[in-house]
Structure 1
Amino acid sequence: MEVDILDFVEECRHLAKQALGKHAGEPASGGFARWKHVVIHCFRREESHSFRETENRLEYMTALLEVLDLEEENIPDFTTLNKSFDRFKMWVWRALLRASAQQHPQSGHIALDSTFFDRGHASAYYRTV
Structure 2
Amino acid sequence: MQSLPKSRLLRFVEQAFHLAQRAVARHSSKFSKRRYTLYQHIVLLCLKVQKNTTYRTLLDELIEMPRIRRAINLDELPSPSTLCKAFNRLDMAIWRVLLNLSVTLLPTNGVVGIDASGFDRSHASKHYTKRTKLTIQQLKVTLLVDTRANAIIDSHVTTTRKHDSQIAPSLIKRNADEVSTLLGNKGYDDQKIRALPREKDVRPLIKHREFSSLHKAWNVRLETDLYGQRSQNETVNSRLKRKYGAFVRSRHWWKQFRELVIGCLAHNIDKTL
TM-score by length of 2: 0.40
Gaps of 5+ in 2: 1-6, 113-143, 145-153, 167-186, 191-208, 212-273
The secondary structure found in structure 1 opposite 2:156 is coil
Change (3 A) 1:55 1:89: same
User: Greater CA deviation, 30-39 or 6-15?
Assistant: 30-39
- Greater Cα radius of gyration, structure 1 or 2: 2
Question: What does the per-residue CA deviation read over 1:29-68, in whole Å, with 9 as the maximum and x for residues that have no partner?
Answer: 7731101100011111111110011111111110011011
Residue number in structure 2 paired with 1:119: 163
Is 1:50 aligned to residue 94 of structure 2? no
Gaps of 5+ in 1: none
- Measured after TM superposition, the shift of residue 4 of structure 1 is 1.2
Partner AA of 1:89 in structure 2: D
User: Higher relative contact order by CA 8 Å / sep ≥ 6: 1 or 2?
Assistant: 1
Change (3 A) 1:106 1:67: same
Residues 16, 39 of structure 1: 8 Å contact kept: yes
User: Greater CA deviation, 77-86 or 109-118?
Assistant: 109-118
TM-score by length of 1: 0.80
Q: Which runs of 4+ in 1 moved over 4 A?
A: 27-30, 120-128
Question: What does the per-residue CA deviation read over 1:4-32, in whole Å, with 9 as the maximum and x for residues that have no partner?
Answer: 11111011111111122xx1x11477731
Residue number in structure 2 paired with 1:37: 41
Cα RMSD (Å): 2.6
User: Greater CA deviation, 58-67 or 30-39?
Assistant: 30-39
How far apart in 1 are the matches of 2:188 and 2:103?
32
Residue number in structure 2 paired with 1:76: 78
Change (3 A) 1:124 1:18: closer
Residue number in structure 1 paired with 2:108: 106
**More helix per residue:** 1
Same amino acid, percent of matched pairs: 26
How far apart in 2 are the matches of 1:43 and 1:19?
17
How far apart in 2 are the matches of 1:54 and 1:40?
8
How far apart in 2 are the matches of 1:19 and 1:4?
23
